[in-house]
Structure 1
Amino acid sequence: MRTKNREALLMDACIRAKQPFVMDNTNPLAEERARYILPARAARFRVVCYFFRTETRAAIARNNKREGRARIPIPGILGTYKKLEEPRPEEGFDEIYLVTLTPEDEFVLAQLFPGPSDTSNLE
């Protein structure tokens, strides 16, 4: 979306239209994620998190394969990793999935919340 203002306008339009939406963004802090979670919960949307866990070396190696503007400066990767707060159910998520990448570049998905025996949050 390039700007937070455009992102907010689109999210507001989706909420008003009751249109499900996906926010694909790096939000390392719970405080940053709240700007999506709180309005969505207030509008009675289900809020699902896909958390991509990776090691810094692996992230830098994948980043090095990128070209041009797609490549992120290494201090940016390290700075984001340093302040990362892993998502927690208390933030307002209905579900949290952990996504990991195998050495063969395949995604593996595991549901963290609600856990296999916790059905209290399912509709």
Structure 2
Amino acid sequence: MQLVVFCGIQATGKSTFYQQRFFHSHVRISLDLLRTRHREHRLLHLCLDTQMRCVIDNTNPTQAERAVYIQAARAAQFEVVGYFFQSVAAEALVRNQLRPLERQVPDKGIRATRNRLELPTRAEGFNQLYFVRAVGNEEFIVNEWQDEI
């Protein structure tokens, strides 16, 4: 089974990427939808207990935040795949303005997440790790992650 962990600031295409690549195969776990960590925790553990493939569709900017999901998935014998979404705040702010008003994130929220952002590494427990770049028109370029040496 597989747990996919997205990481990157808001308005970088994570939810669109989910819809394109995982909608028909993985349960989406998102704080935007679930609204509380308690609900998120319950749905994650339901997926792990029932061997359902799932995607964590949150910003997950720090290693500590990602570790919660990775450790639980590893304990359940899941493969863990990470996708880091290119996180250029200026570009995200522009994309954010193109969203419907009710889905827009305050600019200071995007900047605050960017300031907390820690690049992922395979050493965190990822079996596979990818770099995703939005190239416009809801298209993405996906490359294998290159850990800095």
Deviation at 1:67, TM superposition (A): 2.3
| Overall identity of the aligned pairs, in % | 39
The unaligned stretches of length 5 or more in structure 2 are 1-33
Instruction: Provide the C-alpha distance between the structure 2 equivalents of 1:22 and 1:106, rounded to a whole number of angstroms.
Output: 19
Instruction: Provide the C-alpha distance between the structure 1 equivalents of 2:125 and 2:110, rounded to a whole number of angstroms.
Output: 26
Partner of 2:28: none
* CA offsets 1:70-99 (integer angstroms, 9 cap, x no match): 100000000100110011111110010100
Match runs of 1:1-123 below 5 Å: 1-103=34-136, 105-112=138-145
Partner of 1:120: none
Q: Does 1 or 2 have the higher relative contact order (CA < 8 Å, sep 6+)? A: 2
Deviation at 1:105, TM superposition (A): 4.6
Deviation at 1:106, TM superposition (A): 2.1
Based on CA coordinates, which of the two structures has the bigger radius of gyration? Answer: 1
Higher fraction of strand:
2
TM-score for the superposition, normalised by structure 2: 0.72
Q: How many residues align?
A: 114
TM-score for the superposition, normalised by structure 1: 0.86
The answer (yes or no) to whether the contact 2:87–2:114 under 8 Å persists in 1 is no
Instruction: Provide the C-alpha distance between the structure 2 equivalents of 1:48 and 1:26, rounded to a whole number of angstroms.
Output: 15
Code of the residue aligned with 1:100 in structure 2: it is R
Q: Summarize the Cα distance change of 1:75–1:12 in structure 2 as closer, same or farther, 3 Å threshold.
A: same
The RMSD of aligned alpha carbons is 1.5
Aligned to 1:108, the other structure's residue is in SS state strand
The unaligned stretches of length 5 or more in structure 1 are 115-123
Instruction: Provide the C-alpha distance between the structure 2 equivalents of 1:104 and 1:18, rounded to a whole number of angstroms.
Output: 34
Instruction: Provide the C-alpha distance between the structure 1 equivalents of 2:81 and 2:116, rounded to a whole number of angstroms.
Output: 22
